[in-house]
Structure 1
Amino acid sequence: MAKIFLGTAGVPFSAKKGTTIDGVKAIRDLSLNAMEVEFVQGVRMKRETAQETGRIAKELGVRLSVHAPYFINLCSSEKEKVEASKQRILDTADRAEAMGADAIAIHAAFYGKLKPEECYEMVKAEIGEVIDKARENGIHDVKFGIETMAKDTALGTLDEVIGLSKEVKGVIPYIDWAHTFARQGGKIDYKQIIDTLVKELGLVHINSHFESLKLNKGKYVDVHVPIEANAPPFDQLAETLVKDDRISITLICESPELERDALKMKAVLEKYGYNLR
């Protein structure tokens, strides 16, 4: 049975204050063991704060990951927007490295007027440049996670993120299970996806998000709702993970109910015989 890391996207509601450090402490108080630090509105954390966050997380046994800003589009037709996007990714990686986070989640691009394959090639080149610059700046441990996306207008099919992970050293898939479920028309085969990640990429750890999505006019849209909507069902993922000893996984709850739903996920894992530690 592989190791499972479970926590929230950002500071739990139950934290004494809204700081990241208070969030890490609240995670441990909740008997969870992971937290994704949210830079979605911009990278405003000082490097010293990132280092202190990492020190406390390590002491408490909380695994950290980081979400890069939403304002990223590596396929923008405006060069200055692409360059600003690359800098945001680099700043995110810098703070992530300082706090000892293992990976960052990136919403990489929108196709815009480009064909999907043209956007893919552009992202491949631009993220490659970012990683080269990161290595020059002493950022060696953080993995650059290209997130699977729900919208048909965004780069982020499962095949695209796997392809980028094969072609660009330092890139990994950051699997948003609900986004993939939506992108596949409301269907998901967890075991098949895990098998593919292990077989094609040799992954030993999966970074991922979990939430449910809203059904609108017969189509799942990128509006996060509590997990009892079963879109997709967590129960099946939990059972699959507990039976699979090939990989460890980070499950970050992106439900609007944050720790309430993370604790529900924990209870489902326990039902299948897995206890967080």
Structure 2
Amino acid sequence: MKVRFGPAGRPINFSGNAKDACAYIKAEGLDAYEYQATYGVKISQSSAKDLKSSSKSENVLVSMHAPYYINLSSNKDDVIERSIQRLVQSAKAAEWMGAYRIVFHPGFYTTYTPEEALIRCKNAVTDILDELDSLGVKDFCFAPETTGKKSQLGNLDEIIELCRSFDKFQPTVDFAHVHARNGGGIASRDDYAGIFEKLENELGINCLHSHFTHIEYTDAGERKHHILGDHNYGPPLKPFIEEIIECGWKVTVICESPLIDQDAIVMKDLYKDLVKLE
């Protein structure tokens, strides 16, 4: 299956355990699920393994969003150490649940230049990988995400550099964040094509984990996510889907609008309609 769509977290009207979410998502006609560990990795090993089993039987691709409280470029060493441990915990849980990507926000520039912040982040990543190696955790793939605020480490070039520097790293492109960070920088299919072309040229990939929603922004970047039905905000959806179809990549699209699963269905329906037209 080349292109998959799914929600960032449990579907809106789903009230069961995470291990049962895949069956609900499959029944909605979706085929991806990003498990949210945004406030800490709290899932037990047994529940995570149940989620893995369910994802396989339902053919729903699982990814994980690591905790929000991560800053690998902090000017405080204790913050970096706690961030390292949260990502180590995330990788352990991701291995249990069979998550194919561990999405995380790399950090903030704080008092550093972007170049200095990236160096601190890379040093922390080296420590993470060393610790995982010592623990025997092997089945994981970190997916640093493009960030939406200009104060954050994580523009597209920085994400590419992180992924180029380490094994078991692949990018997460949040197209809304790219749009917001660049002051509305995505307006057409050519803008999307430029991102895919850059990833292919610099990382040699043809597979992408991505996030999508409409977004409100200020001069500082991201402000608020909006539903896809609110056309006052971008980035535009149809050119995005057209570019996915044209480029032929394997793409997972995780919906982060306030209507996480319902808008994921909107995206998948548009994808199916446009494929028919080809």
The equivalent of 1:159 in structure 2 is: 157
Gaps of 5+ in 1: none
The equivalent of 2:128 in structure 1 is: 130
Runs of 4 or more above 6 Å deviation: none
Q: Aligned partners of 1:274, 1:191: CA distance in 2, in Å?
A: 21
Shift of 1:79: 1.4
Query: Does the 8 A contact of 1:186 with 1:220 survive in 2?
Result: no
Instruction: Give the alignment's Cα RMSD to 1 decimal.
Output: 1.7
Query: Does the 8 A contact of 2:150 with 2:221 survive in 1?
Result: no
2:236 to 233, 241, 257: 233
Q: Aligned partners of 1:80, 1:205: CA distance in 2, in Å?
A: 35
The equivalent of 2:264 in structure 1 is: 262
Shift of 1:234: 1.2
- SS of 1:240's equivalent? helix
Shift of 1:136: 2.8
The equivalent of 1:120 in structure 2 is: 118
Q: Aligned partners of 2:180, 2:144: CA distance in 1, in Å?
A: 17
Query: Does the 8 A contact of 1:212 with 1:224 survive in 2?
Result: yes
The equivalent of 2:6 in structure 1 is: 7
Shift of 1:215: 4.3
Shift of 1:156: 0.6
Q: Aligned partners of 1:274, 1:232: CA distance in 2, in Å?
A: 23
> How far does the alpha carbon of each residue in 1:192-216 deviate from its partner, in whole angstroms, 9 at most, with x for none?
1111112211113111111111245
The 1:46–1:166 alpha-carbon spacing in structure 2 relative to 1, beyond 3 Å, is same
The equivalent of 2:104 in structure 1 is: 106
Instruction: Give aligned-pair identity as a percent.
Output: 33
Query: Does the 8 A contact of 2:182 with 2:221 survive in 1?
Result: no
Query: Does the 8 A contact of 2:216 with 2:222 survive in 1?
Result: yes
The equivalent of 2:207 in structure 1 is: 205
Gaps of 5+ in 2: none
- SS of 1:197's equivalent? helix
Query: Does the 8 A contact of 1:227 with 1:233 survive in 2?
Result: no
Q: Aligned partners of 1:94, 1:210: CA distance in 2, in Å?
A: 27
Q: Does 1:64 align with 2:62?
A: yes
Shift of 1:220: 5.4
TM-score (norm 2): 0.93
The equivalent of 1:147 in structure 2 is: 145
> How far does the alpha carbon of each residue in 1:107-136 deviate from its partner, in whole angstroms, 9 at most, with x for none?
111110011100001101111221222233
TM-score (norm 1): 0.93
- SS of 1:66's equivalent? strand
Aligned length: 271
